[in-house]
């Protein structure tokens, strides 16, 4: 691959940015926003598309979910049998029967691959399209911006005045805005949406507090006028923008309503399952219905099913098949409810769902201390697309007889991202500039997956 020169290390994110609004007062939101670096203005689309990125952190086993090999040797194939769907050639694990009823509403990529075998570098490559770079001090902050932060850079706000990039519960690890600056961080909705008392903190503000906020801003404006006159970096202007965004977020009724699940039809919530995975995806769809245009949800924790720690099912640390037995039915219900909801509510052309992790797992089963597992395997992974007005009900690409490597139509993460950017009406060759003024394209290369378009 011919990649361009790499950008310098990005500024470290502060812990408060990882925590989102958790523990901050209403007045502190302006301070939080000011901590993010200056963002350029950008055009907004009047009828913008929306994307829900479902991240399977830890790396799901492709051979136990979407790419089963029943004829492979026993040390490869595992205990599960594939079940047929109505789409020829599209079969899935027997633990996901709900997928068979709506296979015409999604497409599978079975031949995606790359060369980064660690969690941090795999996630960085898959989510940025650039080669991962270990930053100073052993940190895992990407030096290239991930897809959500690119989106926010180009479309920082939406017509409803609510955050345009939301991370449910927490932001995705190992990646960040890099040289785009901390203004492109997502709005984080902390907590467990399945909890009866789930509520995103500090999404309302009293009139008295707002009045004091305005007095405080007016006083600061008076003292800062001279600094504005001599400021050449635009940071003072950014501070004003952050204050305005803080007031807008805190006073806009759409913001609180979007995150308030108690106002939703309980029957719709039940379809997803009253567990963390299900309610996180339900919240994601509710957010795009309310106008949010990019949402990330990491489905890495299935505590109600007794599975924690993501999809990182190493031998010796767990029994991968015991985890799959408990995890996949929950995942099956939650994801199919999301996809069905999008189609039944007529959102399938406006909303795109992409499901993927940082890599697959070793097709050959490993056993340590009598605990079977699979290790990291970037040479083959499955990716699911649904909606977005794309061509659904198909399998794109295949792997060899043991699911080790692509057999035909080999695809890369840059191709997945190029397809997502096309849907989002973003030119992947658009260039941003890093802190030294050097130009970097959004993607170094990559082709739109023609079968989907």
Question: Does residue 205 lie within any of the structural domains?
Answer: yes
Q: How does pLDDT run across 286-333, given as a tens digit for each residue? A: 999 988 999 999 998 888 888 887 999 999 999 999 999 999 999 999
Question: Does residue 139 lie within any of the structural domains?
Answer: yes
Question: Does residue 1 lie within any of the structural domains?
Answer: no
Question: Does residue 7 lie within any of the structural domains?
Answer: no
Q: How does pLDDT run across 409-440, given as a tens digit for each residue? A: 999 999 999 999 999 999 999 999 998 999 99
CB 2 within 8 A of CB 20: no
Angle at 285 between CA 22 and CA 251, to 5 degrees: 45
Distance CA 279, CA 276 (A): 5
How many structural domains comprise the chain? 1
Residues of the chain where predicted confidence (pLDDT) is lower than 50:
1-45, 204-206, 209-210, 213, 223, 226-227, 230-239, 241-242
Task: Report the predicted TM-score, pTM, of the whole model to 2 decimal places.
Answer: 0.83
CB 278 within 8 A of CB 337: yes
Distance CA 243, CA 27 (A): 9
Instruction: Give the domain range for residue 300.
Output: 15-452
CATH number at residue 285: 3.40.720.10
Beta bridge partners of 408: 398
Question: Does residue 6 lie within any of the structural domains?
Answer: no
Question: Does residue 387 lie within any of the structural domains?
Answer: yes
Q: Which of 335, 332, 330 is nearest to 302 (CA)?
A: 330
Question: Does residue 426 lie within any of the structural domains?
Answer: yes
Question: Does residue 171 lie within any of the structural domains?
Answer: yes
């Amino acid at each position: 691959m011919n990649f361009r020169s790499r950008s310098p290390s990005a500024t470290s994110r502060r812990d408060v940015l990882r925590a989102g609004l958790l523990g901050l007062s209403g007045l502190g939101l302006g301070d939080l926003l000011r901590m993010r670096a200056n963002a350029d203005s950008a055009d907004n689309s009047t009828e913008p598309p929306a994307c829900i990125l479902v991240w399977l952190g830890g790396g799901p086993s492709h051979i136990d979910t979407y790419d089963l090999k029943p004829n492979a040797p026993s040390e490869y194939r595992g205990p599960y049998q594939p079940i047929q769907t109505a789409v020829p050639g599209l079969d899935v694990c027997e633990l996901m029967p709900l997928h068979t009823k709506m296979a015409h509403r999604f497409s599978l990529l079975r031949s995606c691959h790359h060369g980064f075998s660690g969690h941090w570098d795999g996630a960085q490559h898959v989510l940025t399209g650039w080669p991962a770079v270990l930053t100073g001090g052993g940190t895992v902050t990407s030096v290239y911006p991930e897809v959500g932060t690119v989106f926010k850079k180009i479309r920082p706000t939406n017509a409803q005045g609510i955050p345009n990039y939301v991370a449910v519960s927490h932001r995705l690890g190992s990646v960040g805005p890099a040289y785009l600056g901390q203004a492109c961080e997502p709005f984080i909705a902390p907590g467990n949406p399945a909890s009866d008392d789930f509520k995103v903190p500090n999404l309302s503000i009293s009139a008295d507090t707002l009045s004091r906020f305005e007095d405080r801003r007016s006083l600061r404006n008076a003292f800062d006028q001279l600094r504005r006159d001599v400021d050449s970096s635009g940071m003072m202007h950014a501070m004003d923008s952050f204050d305005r965004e803080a007031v807008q977020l805190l006073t806009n009724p759409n913001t609180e309503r979007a995150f308030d699940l108690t106002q939703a039809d309980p029957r719709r919530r039940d379809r997803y399952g009253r567990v963390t995975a299900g309610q996180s995806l339900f919240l994601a769809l509710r957010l795009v219905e309310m106008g949010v245009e990019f949402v990330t949800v990491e489905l890495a924790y299935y505590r109600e099913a007794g599975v924690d720690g993501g999809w990182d099912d190493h031998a010796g640390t767990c029994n991968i098949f015991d985890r799959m037995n408990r995890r996949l039915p929950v995942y099956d219900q939650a994801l199919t409810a999301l996809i069905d909801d999008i189609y039944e509510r007529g959102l399938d052309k406006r909303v795109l769902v992409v499901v993927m992790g940082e890599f697959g797992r070793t097709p050959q089963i490993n056993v340590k201390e009598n605990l079977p597992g699979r290790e990291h395997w970037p040479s083959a992974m499955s990716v699911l697309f649904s909606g977005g007005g794309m061509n659904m009900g198909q399998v794109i690409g295949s792997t060899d007889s043991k699911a080790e490597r692509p057999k035909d139509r080999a695809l890369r993460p840059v191709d997945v991202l190029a397809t997502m950017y096309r849907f989002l009406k973003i030119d992947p060759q658009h260039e941003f500039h890093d802190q030294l003024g050097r130009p970097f394209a959004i993607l170094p290369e990559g082709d739109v997956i023609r079968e989907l378009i």
